[in-house]
Chains A and B, each alone.
Chain A
Amino acid sequence: MISVDLKSKSFGSAQVLGKIKLSIAAGECVALLGPSGIGKTTLLRIVSGLDSDFVGHLTKPIRIAMVFQEPTLLNWRSVLQNLTLVTGISSDAAMLALTEVGLEGKEDLYPLQLSLGQRRRLSLARAFVTDPDFLVLDEPFASLDPEKLDEMISLTKSLLAKRDIAALLVTHSREEAKALGTRTLHLNGSPAILS
């Protein structure tokens, strides 16, 4: 269970987020929609524990995983090492995770030798392999072509379905929100609040 009771979040004298109450239960995927620059990523950073400079209270589990806007991989380490070195799992577990996202046979390549779609799959594998209690997805399908987008949404959906994870998806796309989210919230206003 993830719960945030935010009073305010400011950058200097500019208040970006207002009063926000958000709870996400295990097995639930909350999709957060809102225009660019409204503060979606700021809220996501607060909820994931990356930003602790806010007024309010956060309850979150220890095991968190995140899929970033960019794949955010160690481009200088092999595909397999991107799982083992970052998450500490064994090579066998990493191989299983690679198979689950369709990257079998790619374990010795470097990330830059993969296509963008494959790098995003690797990023997903890294998130799910840690068996997290809370998964944060920050516009994880940005700049994918429609065909790859459908593939990635199906893959993410199937990975989520197999696990009892609380998930927060930040996106611009209503289609992505509809496809993955069990509940959709909108961030609006200045300072931004949920509706």
Chain B
Amino acid sequence: MSRLKAKDTPVRLISLALLLLGWAGLAFLIDDAQVLPGPIVVAGLIAIEAANGPLFQHMGATLLRVAAAFTLAMSFGLVFGLVMGRAKKVDRWLDPWLIIFLNLPALVTIVLCYLWIGLTEVAAVLAVAINKIPMVTTMIREGARALDPELDDMAQIYRMPLGARVRHVLLPQLSPQIAASARTGTALIWKIVLVVEFLGRSNGIGFQIHLYFQLFDVPMVLAYSLAFVIVMLLIEVVILQPWEVRANRWRRG
């Protein structure tokens, strides 16, 4: 697996360089930085906002919301998914609800949360979590349905305590679904967080994008968006991918 990744790295870097080159070429052709600034201009703006502007303050606010919504969504999704995957009766009752929530547009949840709870932090985080919980539930439910019943028997025969069963028997079997939920979760959650901030918060990357949208300032919109994309990519590469590799060490028989 690691050899494959090492082989992939140059391709990925070249692919990324081509994207930047294409962007730079298009910006050169349009020749209007207010419509499409080139990557160097945007990088310069990111540097300025990071050094002298409020970039980190807004990024921090967004990251906190992402973390809170992620924790909520993963926790509730894990519990709901496990219960639905293990108890057929509960699954039959809750499955229609799950389908409805899966198809509920994010914008509807956000607007309703703001209308019912008010333009508060709780409403913002809750709106994001409600959007993600059904997806995590669905993925974990599939994993829970495929749990090895012999391992349950083994844990029962050897009288493993409940905590040990959850930690050493249950969760490791669900690790592929947990990892997939976590990765798609972060990708989806931060995008919804930006919408939530755009519509009803007074800080965060989404708020800044709203501000510069009103000023028709494309370079700053791109600067804030890209800065956050870079941070989310770093989280993926530095935290999520290594965790996934470590969690899957045992598969290399």
Chain A residues proximal to chain B, CB less than 8 Å? 45, 48-50, 64-66, 68, 70, 72, 74-77, 81, 85-87, 110-113, 126, 130, 136
Contacts and interface: CB of A to CB of B under 8 A. Distances in A.
Contact of A112 (B148, B169, B250): B250
A72 B151 contact: yes
Given A65-B157, A66-B153, A112-B253, 4 more contacts: A72-B148, A74-B172, A86-B155, A87-B158
Contact of B250 (A66, A70, A72, A76): A76
Nearest to B148: A72
Nearest to A114: B253
Given A85-B168, A112-B251, A72 B158 contact: no
Chain B, interface size category, equals 20 to 34
B168 A110 contact: no
B158 A86 contact: yes
Nearest to A81: B168
The B contact surface, by secondary structure, is: helix
B154 interface: yes
Nearest to B150: A72
Interface in B160-197: 160, 164, 168-169, 172, 175
Contact of A50 (B156, B172, B250): B156
Interface of B: 148, 150-151, 153-158, 160, 164, 168-169, 172, 175, 247, 249-253
A74 B158 contact: no
B249 A74 contact: no
Given A112-B251, A112-B253, A77 B154 contact: no
B41 to A, nearest CB: 48
Contacts of A45: 153
A77 B175 CA distance: 13
List of 7 A-B pairs having minimum Cβ-Cβ separation, nearest first: A112-B253, A76-B172, A110-B250, A76-B250, A66-B157, A72-B150, A72-B154
Contacts of A65: 157-158
B157 A50 contact: yes
A85 B172 CA distance: 14
A54 to B, nearest CB: 16
A70 B250 CA distance: 18
B244 to A, nearest CB: 13
A85 B253 CA distance: 21
Given A70-B150, A72-B151, A48 B157 contact: yes
A68 B153 contact: yes
26 contacts: A45-B153, A48-B157, A49-B157, A50-B156, A65-B158, A66-B153, A66-B154, A68-B150, A68-B154, A70-B150, A72-B148, A72-B151, A72-B153, A72-B154, A74-B169, A76-B250, A77-B172, A85-B168, A86-B155, A86-B158, A110-B249, A112-B250, A112-B251, A112-B252, A113-B252, A130-B158
